[in-house]
Structure 1
């Protein structure tokens, strides 16, 4: 008998860099297929999945040219990069039989639906994956903050922050082999120990609205499934 998932509805926060693989920028096809495969595993368990994705992998290719830009202009360019990533994810999902919808906080009617909360929740309840593009639709706010907002709006059970490191550590595990992974942390402990879980605005929103965060590595095969099954994977940051 298969184990029941611990969470019915999740919000997965993916950085754009997660799609790069070992490339310097852009989208690595084998990497995106591996990530989509993990998402399919949890959808087949009956978990409702929303995704907020960054755009750093696309924007990195023009970052030197953008260095002297007005901040708001550069941020809008970054938002468009997130929509490009969202479309790539949707395409990869369609190839493995997943039904996905892209909703954008910026109006791009030809390629994405506008973000509508009620419609997004309906899609989730129908078993479709909803990919939220263009961040919050406002400059000066990161996609971490967008993930916190969408997670609260979608009434998710938990936010899952997918990274290259399998949790939050006492020190940088790449530099210090004796660094220890925290299994759990409170928000106050993370703040007190100056642990960089996500940007300060997003972190404060999650803490104030009691939205727990699980930090894990999307590059460990089967890690996402283990997280939703409640197994010891990653680090849980809780109230």
Structure 2
């Protein structure tokens, strides 16, 4: 059997990915489908870290739009990611996959605090590590958390799971002639002003020479194909 191209990955999973076709909350079939995709690569010996978002439960900027203080709204969003992390961990347990949730906020009664050395040890033991609560700071997105945790744990690549199967020349929902980039450099992304991650996360990945792959988590087998190095999604490289 062909060996995976990547041995340690950081998967950035949005809270919205857990909703499926629902308006909010967690769609159980979608949750189980994502877990099956992760288990498929973990069973190959790939070490998997996951940064989970919280937009399906509470999006900080939505709170700001109603007049809420930005820092308060962001902390509420971080707590939403802890809830998603717990749900993801439980689904993994039921699927026979060992997982640990580590939070950047101290909520010791429900999940572990984030400790870099312990996270790396869990990965080496074959456990999936779910990083919740973003960076633990307001004003930073979970994209930035993914770039930061990816660099900290020595991931070989950050995989951004979205609803779109890559980066396109224009919006494929509005332009039928839009074409997908198989790969593109960090500099060209900046030159073309393409949206990949927020600016802080993107700059951190570029500075650390940490490649990014943008792919659709809704395509069956897409995560496995990315890990195997096949033409799936869009690879952003130095």
Which band: TM-score by shorter chain? over 0.9
CA contact (8 A) 1:25 1:61 kept: no
Q: How does 1:92-131 map to 2 (within 5 A)?
A: 92-131=91-130
CA deviation after TM superposition for structure 1 residue 3, in Å? 1.4
Q: How does 1:49-64 map to 2 (within 5 A)?
A: 49-60=48-59, 63=62
Gaps spanning 5+ residues in structure 1: where? Answer: none
How big is each residue's C-alpha offset from its partner over 1:9-44, in whole Å with a ceiling of 9 and x where there is no partner?
000001111111111111111111110000000001
Q: Does 1:30 align with 2:29?
A: yes
Secondary structure at the aligned position of 1:57 is classed as: coil
Q: How does 1:150-165 map to 2 (within 5 A)?
A: 150-165=149-164
CA contact (8 A) 2:64 2:73 kept: no
Q: What is the alpha-carbon distance in structure 2 between the residues aligned to residue 206 and residue 163 of structure 1?
A: 18
Q: How does 1:4-19 map to 2 (within 5 A)?
A: 4-19=3-18
Residue 220 of structure 1 is matched in structure 2 by 219
Secondary structure at the aligned position of 1:59 is classed as: coil
Gaps spanning 5+ residues in structure 2: where? Answer: none
CA contact (8 A) 2:60 2:70 kept: no
* Aligned alpha-carbon RMSD (Å): 1.4
Residue 134 of structure 1 is matched in structure 2 by 133
Q: What is the alpha-carbon distance in structure 1 between the residues aligned to residue 169 and residue 34 of structure 2?
A: 27
Secondary structure at the aligned position of 2:16 is classed as: helix
Q: How many residues align?
A: 238
Q: Does 1:169 align with 2:171?
A: no
Residue 181 of structure 2 is matched in structure 1 by 182
How big is each residue's C-alpha offset from its partner over 1:138-181, in whole Å with a ceiling of 9 and x where there is no partner?
00000000000000000000000000000000011111111100
Q: Does 1:143 align with 2:135?
A: no
CA deviation after TM superposition for structure 1 residue 217, in Å? 0.3
Residue 197 of structure 1 is matched in structure 2 by 196
CA contact (8 A) 2:167 2:196 kept: yes
CA contact (8 A) 1:14 1:54 kept: yes
CA contact (8 A) 1:20 1:27 kept: yes
- Using a 3 Å threshold, how does the CA distance of structure 1 residues 64 and 78 change in structure 2: closer, same or farther? closer
CA contact (8 A) 2:60 2:74 kept: no
CA contact (8 A) 1:158 1:211 kept: yes
How big is each residue's C-alpha offset from its partner over 1:214-238, in whole Å with a ceiling of 9 and x where there is no partner?
0000000000000000001000000
CA deviation after TM superposition for structure 1 residue 63, in Å? 3.8
CA contact (8 A) 1:32 1:89 kept: yes
CA deviation after TM superposition for structure 1 residue 60, in Å? 4.9
Secondary structure at the aligned position of 2:58 is classed as: helix
